[in-house]
Structure 1
Amino acid sequence: MTHIDPDPTAPNLFDRVLTDDELEDITAAEEISSAVTFSTQSFDVAGLVLRLDRGSMLVPTYGKDDARIDTDGFQRGFVWTKAQMDRFIESLLLGFPIPGIFLVKQTASNRLLVLDGQQRLLTLQRFYEGIHAKKEFSLKNVSEQFKGLTYKTLGDSLQFRLDDSYLHATIVTTDGSAEMNEAIYQIFERLNSGGTQLTAHEIRVALSAGPIIELLERLNSNESWRGLYGPRSARLRDQELTLRIIALFTNADKYARPLKTFLNSFASTVRQPTDTVVAASKLFEQAAEVLLPLGPSALRNQGASQINAARTEAIFVGAMRAIADGRLTTNLQLAIDALDKDAEFVTATTRSTADKDFVLLRLDKAAKAFSA
């Protein structure tokens, strides 16, 4: 069963829905993280734009390792339409109330990172700059009195009104520790309720931006993996699956529900990949190469048209274990057929797939099937 998630930018229906696993990820309760310190402050629009231009306020983006950022960012790409941007500027010119923004303050650098409010802040920055999508930023989707105006042509009165408009901000202070990062993750997850609902991994990628995400993206770009998985997922499901495989290969004994917390902890711990993780990534590539001749159907349950994440992680971890032990069977198809006929394996990849007993069961069965 899937749950419709109206994302008009997604290329196909499958990438516009949340799977049962993803729905469980974003709704499952977890242990309460450390308490956070926060304050409230009002910023005038001109001051916000100046901070963005100077870099004292940053908008982190997925998978981008920015040396200036020592805390987590939680942003998707810029997704507002031009009409939304125009109407936001118009609302400020009309003096309408605007929703507040959430910021994270880095104690080490005193920089402010945008936790929630990217669309509004970047719209302001681009309107002041006068350029959006390599075109002049003039207002079009607005009432007649504002049509065709740019920031420069607003005139003094409207410029002053816009400059002196205020956005209220909630500012969370963090020391960059893993405990505080998890608390901020939970804050964003609770904010993540409108528009296109983010998956746990879409938040996680920003949470752990840097070398570990770069490694995952390299694995996700591996030709053999792409041949098995198929087209890229606009919702980063393929990249999350590489993380699940590496995490379970190296840390299966530490697995516990909910899955999102296990993966968050792993990604945070190995933000700078360890030798063990690097070795596991090489085994992943070897497994993808030897599994490729079996075709994409190897990662799908019989009769299914979509990748089964639980089955895929088991098959990959099983093959990786066999390769690491020097015991990989020469008849991989026979191993796949044996797993398809194993009722316990099928159950463990189709029901309560995040349950620890089922996770360990399917990994063990796959490893034995692939071992000569």
Structure 2
Amino acid sequence: MTRKPGGKPYEASFQDDALLTPDEVSELTEAEDSAAPVSYMGSDFDVEGLVRRLGRDDIVIPSFGHNDATIEVAGFQRGFVWARNQMDRFIESLLLGYPIPGIMLVQQPNMKYLVLDGQQRLRTLAAFYEGVYGGKEFALRNVAEEFKGLTYKTLEPELRRQLDNTFIQATIVRTDGTRGSREAIYQVFERLNSGGTQLTPHEIRIALYAGPLIDYIDKLNKSTAWRQLYGSFSPRLRDQELVLRIIALFTKKTEFYRPLKKYLNDFAEEHRELKGLPTKKITKLFDRTAELLLAAAGRESVRYQSQQVNAALTEALFVALMSRLETTATEPAPEQIAEWITTLTKNRRVIPAITRSTSSEENVRVRHRAAMRIFTSEEA
């Protein structure tokens, strides 16, 4: 729990809850203007063969949110793991010969397979065959009496063969590493992303567009003044997405289009390797803007009638103030910035634009034009 300076503690906000926000649900379910085709095929793998391929890195489960130069499409993995009882019961299902769900892999140009869906099942198999999980012996416990205490090494030959020779069905999607191919896989994953703990649009984006841009956003997200403004790190990466929104809208002020997920995906694709992006200038402006907002109104500067960060308001404030700092040598005083924030948040046209349908083209245009007029005394 975080405490306001001289005030009451901030309660944990819905924006950092494991559940998706209404805006995120809307983003995930909003249809694209066009649907990209994808090619795929079916194949069966025996369990022992899957574990062997995992050990050789022929099947890759990349680390969530980190770039891996050996793969064409990174990530796509949830930041959550199965509970131990789920792992035990999965192995038990295989020993009993019960049917289990298939997995989905992406075949890359180098012929390696990337796990698109099925991470926890494959990790569980690898841990059971190795005999270790969490630094302890992986012996079954949340299972029927006949299986309790068993490890892979202590399985009777018949049970071992039952497990080794069980086939798991795989759907294999092909990618050539191009922009259209990555967009198609993004859409495939969106349609798989249901039940359990759903990924946010940005969690999918980080997986798909991993690289120098994502690493740069992660670095900005750790800036001292920004962290003081935002608060604790978001376990669902909503703070990182907000940083990306600020950078994209500052860089391309008049080019926003719906849906937001595609706008940000296209920006991430274009600048994946940081080409054409003035990172030193952006870092300087971003950090100074955060410092000035803190000095002006503290954490309240990016909150509107709530204890949680208002992403739409934050994005508009940052873009407008960064634009002023970019073009004007004299910095505004904190008192002046506080007055501008008050003027913006009391504007009757702006209020709906920061509280309802915040990613609509009209509302983005309204709040950004208003912020630019107030902060720079000119139209955006």
TM-score range, shorter chain: over 0.9
The answer to whether residue 315 in structure 2 is matched with residue 313 in structure 1 is yes
Contact 1:340 1:346 in 2 (8 A): yes
Amino acid of the residue matched to residue 121 of structure 1? Answer: L
The answer to whether residue 332 in structure 2 is matched with residue 329 in structure 1 is yes
Evaluate the alpha carbon distance shift between residue 282 and residue 208 of structure 1 in structure 2; reply closer, same or farther with a 3 A threshold. farther
The answer to whether residue 359 in structure 2 is matched with residue 358 in structure 1 is no
TM-score (norm 1): 0.93
Contact 2:107 2:174 in 1 (8 A): yes
From 81, 84, 90, the equivalent of 2:83 is: 81
After superposing the two structures, state which structure 1 stretch, 362-371 or 174-183, moved more.
362-371
Amino acid of the residue matched to residue 370 of structure 2? Answer: K
* Counterpart for residue 340 of structure 1: 345
Contact 1:106 1:112 in 2 (8 A): yes
* Counterpart-to-counterpart distance in 1, 2:271 and 2:298: 31
* Counterpart for residue 144 of structure 1: 145
SS at match of 1:342: coil
**Cα shift at 1:91:** 0.2
* Counterpart-to-counterpart distance in 2, 1:123 and 1:72: 21
SS at match of 1:171: strand
Show CA shifts across 1:331-352 (max 9, x none).
Answer: 2111111112211122211122
From 296, 301, 306, the equivalent of 1:298 is: 301
**Cα shift at 1:32:** 2.9
Contact 2:353 2:364 in 1 (8 A): yes
* Counterpart-to-counterpart distance in 1, 2:322 and 2:277: 13
Amino acid of the residue matched to residue 363 of structure 1? Answer: H
Contact 1:30 1:258 in 2 (8 A): yes
* Counterpart for residue 49 of structure 2: 47
From 341, 354, 369, the equivalent of 2:374 is: 369
* Counterpart-to-counterpart distance in 1, 2:186 and 2:276: 27
* Counterpart-to-counterpart distance in 2, 1:42 and 1:195: 25
Amino acid of the residue matched to residue 130 of structure 2? Answer: E
* Counterpart for residue 221 of structure 1: 222
**Cα shift at 1:329:** 2.6
Evaluate the alpha carbon distance shift between residue 165 and residue 245 of structure 1 in structure 2; reply closer, same or farther with a 3 A threshold. same
Amino acid of the residue matched to residue 173 of structure 2? Answer: V
Contact 2:65 2:75 in 1 (8 A): no
* Counterpart-to-counterpart distance in 1, 2:236 and 2:208: 16
**Cα shift at 1:282:** 3.0
* Counterpart-to-counterpart distance in 2, 1:203 and 1:218: 19
Show CA shifts across 1:222-267 (max 9, x none).
Answer: 1100110111111111111001100111123221111111111111
* Counterpart for residue 236 of structure 2: 235
Gaps of 5+ in 2: 1-11
Show CA shifts across 1:268-298 (max 9, x none).
Answer: 2211113435132332122112212221111
TM-score (norm 2): 0.91
Evaluate the alpha carbon distance shift between residue 328 and residue 17 of structure 1 in structure 2; reply closer, same or farther with a 3 A threshold. farther
Amino acid of the residue matched to residue 299 of structure 1? Answer: V
Counting only pairs closer than 5 Å after superposition, residues 84-103 of structure 1 correspond to structure 2 as 84-103=86-105
* Counterpart-to-counterpart distance in 1, 2:346 and 2:36: 46
* Counterpart for residue 7 of structure 1: none
Show CA shifts across 1:102-156 (max 9, x none).
Answer: 000002x100000000000010001101111111111000001110011001122
Gaps of 5+ in 1: 1-10
RMSD across aligned C-alpha pairs, in angstroms? Answer: 1.5
* Counterpart-to-counterpart distance in 1, 2:74 and 2:270: 14
Evaluate the alpha carbon distance shift between residue 370 and residue 12 of structure 1 in structure 2; reply closer, same or farther with a 3 A threshold. closer
Amino acid of the residue matched to residue 147 of structure 2? Answer: F
* Counterpart-to-counterpart distance in 1, 2:348 and 2:23: 21
Contact 2:13 2:307 in 1 (8 A): no
* Counterpart for residue 257 of structure 2: 256
Contact 1:284 1:316 in 2 (8 A): yes
After superposing the two structures, state which structure 1 stretch, 145-154 or 73-82, moved more.
73-82
* Counterpart for residue 3 of structure 1: none
Contact 1:74 1:203 in 2 (8 A): yes
SS at match of 1:169: strand
**Cα shift at 1:213:** 1.2
SS at match of 1:152: coil
Counting only pairs closer than 5 Å after superposition, residues 159-198 of structure 1 correspond to structure 2 as 159-198=160-199
* Counterpart for residue 354 of structure 2: 349
**Cα shift at 1:78:** 4.7
**Cα shift at 1:355:** 1.4
* Counterpart-to-counterpart distance in 2, 1:78 and 1:194: 13
Amino acid of the residue matched to residue 45 of structure 1? Answer: V
* Counterpart for residue 127 of structure 1: 128
* Counterpart for residue 6 of structure 1: none
Amino acid of the residue matched to residue 332 of structure 2? Answer: T
* Counterpart-to-counterpart distance in 1, 2:215 and 2:284: 14
Q: Which runs of 4 or more aligned residues in structure 1 lie more than 2 Å from their structure 2 counterparts after TM superposition?
A: 11-14, 31-34, 274-277, 279-282, 327-330
Show CA shifts across 1:342-365 (max 9, x none).
Answer: 111222111221111221221122
Amino acid of the residue matched to residue 363 of structure 2? Answer: F
Evaluate the alpha carbon distance shift between residue 261 and residue 69 of structure 1 in structure 2; reply closer, same or farther with a 3 A threshold. same
**Cα shift at 1:62:** 2.0
Q: How many residues align?
A: 360
